[in-house]
Amino acid sequence: MDKAFIAVFSFAFLFLVHYILAGGKKRNGGSKGAVQLPPSPPAVPFLGHLHLVAKKPLHATLQRLASRYGPVFALRLGARNAVVVSSAACARECFTDHDVAFANRPQFPSQLLVSFGGTSLLISSYGPRWRTLHRVATVQLLSAHRVACMSGVISAEIRAMTRRLCRAAAAGGGAARVLLKRRLFELSLSVLMETIANTKGTRPVADAETDMSMEAQEFKKVVDEITPYIGAANMWDFLPVMRWFDVFGVRNKILSAVSRRDAFLRRLIDAERQRLDDGGGQGDKTSMIAVLLTLQKTEPEVYTDTMITALCANLFAAGTETTSTTTEWAMSLLLNHPAVLKKAQAEIDVSVGTSRLVTAADLPHLNYLQCIISETLRLYAAAPLLLSHESSASCKVGGYDMPSDTMLIVNAYAIHRDPAAWEDPSSFRPERFEDGKGDAMLVMPFGMGRRRCPGETLALQMVGMVLGTLLQCFDWERVDNAEVDMTEGGGFTLPKAVPLEAVCRPRAAMCNVLEKL
């Protein structure tokens, strides 16, 4: 650490001179006249406000700054100018009136390493390539019809997880202590492996009831290694000197994880290509990779192997960590609010009964369960700062001028907990969404505008079916009756600082169903 800071401050003078001569002139509008820029905290030479955003978790730090400087304020992150938006009104302005202006993504060095040079769907700049990728994702891969076809796969994987939980409980004398995140991540990956690549995870014969398949363990390790370097508070992205010397080997760490991720994806793609060559992959159960490989035969210049790999990387990254984390937060909230848990179980018992498991068709009729999911996403959005945007043209937001090439950070966490909009905003109250009462409020866990997450429908179906089944099939207790720790960890996907461990017992009312799994 000492070497890094010595290197950083050794070059501070050069960048300070550059900022004084060029940067300040740009921010004040130069010869074109004064502009009204958003308020900003005091900055330090060279670093700007990086010393402020180094405090974790970042969304909470930005929320505190918003309480002091207002719902729109500016930051200088090294050499990059940024604006933070923390109100529903200004977020709507960004993604409705100025949606095209903010449709770009900032090209961070770390993200370029992870996203095939910035060409993936999540990171690519707005333009023809992005529109092609978005059309493929929304029409070919994540359409309502495709998601409906996935419900059978989701149900099968949920049954497999439920069966393993029942066996663990039987081995423990009727109850089992469960690290839920690992089970949920394995479930999410298994669903995606089958729908994306028509394959299943494998487990060692000697440990067939492990909570994670070998593939899930491999991919989880890759995700855990990449995630810390992705986000708006990575100093490596904002300070060129840290990349030049790279004292901590950040580049090599990212490239090592990316290499293993790409090898994992190439194995899946190669296996599907061979299966297609052998005559497989027809009908609604055609895998997503098979769809892309079929399109490749007619438009090879568009559907390149790199494009297919990048799309698969986005689908796996967005569909595993986020859905498993959201379900873990939901279960944590329910364990700390047992009356809400019991009410949800009662709704499922009445609406679905105890002779079968919850299905996707049941979800629209489980109104209280949907309220629980909405309230969980309000309090613990999987991406509390969304993905950053960047302005391609000058515009005004909240009465302030936004120059082009300004990084936009939308603090969904702060918007969802704004006391001016939400009564008792920090409390878990699913009832606030009953009978459409929350419809007029802005809840944006999947983003907003043209760069809204295309996997929203699949994610909500996954979370609903998993959470509904866990509540239907098991009674849940806190370990030693201790309050579940709700401390938020640092990171782009808002992980729990302390992973949830809980005790599950198969419900007596469901014993006939569980015995047949």
CATH for 245? 1.10.630.10
**Domain of 108, in residue numbers:** 2-515
Q: How many CA atoms lie within 13 A of 61 on its CB side?
A: 18
Query: Can you give the pLDDT at residue 249?
Result: 87
88 is written with which tokens? 């529903």
Residue 284: Cβ-neighbour burial (10 angstroms; 0-12, 13-18, 19+)? exposed
> How many domains are there within the chain?
1
- Cα(262)–Cα(339) distance, rounded to whole angstroms? 45
- Concatenated DSSP letters for 382-437? SSTT-S-EE-SS-EEETTEEE-TT-EEEE-HHHHHT-TTTSSSTTS--GGGGGGGT
How many angstroms from the chain centroid is the CA of residue 248? 26
Q: What are phi and psi of 246, to 5 degrees?
A: 40, 55
Q: pLDDT tens for the chain, 517 residues: list them.
A: 444 444 444 445 444 444 443 444 444 444 445 789 999 999 998 899 998 888 888 999 999 999 999 999 999 999 899 999 999 999 999 999 999 999 999 998 998 999 999 999 999 999 999 999 999 999 989 999 999 999 999 999 999 999 999 999 999 999 999 999 999 999 999 999 999 999 888 766 445 456 688 888 999 999 989 888 876 557 788 888 888 888 788 899 999 999 999 999 999 999 999 999 888 765 556 899 999 999 999 999 999 999 999 999 999 988 899 999 999 999 999 999 999 999 999 999 999 999 999 999 999 999 999 999 999 999 999 899 999 999 999 999 999 999 999 999 999 999 999 999 999 999 999 999 998 888 889 999 999 999 999 999 999 999 999 999 999 999 999 999 999 999 998 878 899 999 999 999 999 999 999 998 8
Task: Report the candidate in 488, 505, 510 with the shortest Cα–Cα distance to residue 497.
Answer: 488
CB-hemisphere CA count at 13 Å for 327?
A: 28
pTM of the complete model: 0.91
